[in-house]
Amino acid sequence: MRDVHETAPYQRYLEGLARGALVYQTCASCHKAIFYPRPGCPFCGALDLSLQDSKGLGTLYSVSVVYDKVQNYNLVLVDLDEGFRMMSCVPDCAAPAIGSRVKARLEQLDDQEPRIVFDLVEGDAA
């Protein structure tokens, strides 16, 4: 019988968030970083994946501003230093510049699931 952690990758991600960490996987076969955690490597198909904690530092790869009647917000793609890319936002910043350095943090809004957002890193201009 397989361990529940092998069959519940999203649960592993939530467990990481619960302890304040952004988690990702690395593949033992092709050595690539993988995000979202999943049962198998999307690059080579291997099943030998290990969970890692990210330092949360990255660079903005892409920025889109969504114009809403209530409040404008941004959607960003961040290239994390460990080698994976994820989508999120940079709260309290209208339109962050592509190439800016960012740092991940956990955000908890009301009764919603916690999520990872990014803040601009001061003094580390692109």
CA–CA distance, 87 with 54 (Å, rounded to integer)? 15
The pLDDT of residue 83:
98
Query: What percent of the chain is predicted at pLDDT more than 90?
Result: 71
The pLDDT of residue 97:
96
29 contacts 10 by C-beta, under 8 angstroms: no
Q: What is the mean pLDDT of the chain?
A: 90
As beta bridge partners, residue 52 has 24
What 3-state DSSP class applies to 80? strand
The Cβ of residue 4 has, within 10 Å, a number of other Cβ atoms equal to: 9
24 contacts 82 by C-beta, under 8 angstroms: yes
Locate all alpha helices (DSSP H) within the chain, ordered by sequence: 4-7, 9-18
The pLDDT of residue 124:
56
Tens-digit pLDDT profile for residues 28-77: 999 999 999 999 999 999 999 999 999 999 999 999 999 989 888 999 99
Find out whether the peptide bond into 73 is cis, omega within 30 degrees of 0: no
The rounded Cα 122 to chain-centroid distance in angstroms is 20
Strand order in the sheet with 85-88: 85-88, 73-80, 57-66, 101-107, 115-120
Reply yes or no on whether the pLDDT at 5 is more than 50: no
The pLDDT of residue 6:
54
Q: pTM here?
A: 0.86
Q: Which domains does the chain have, with CATH numbers?
A: 9-53 (no CATH), 57-120 (2.40.50)
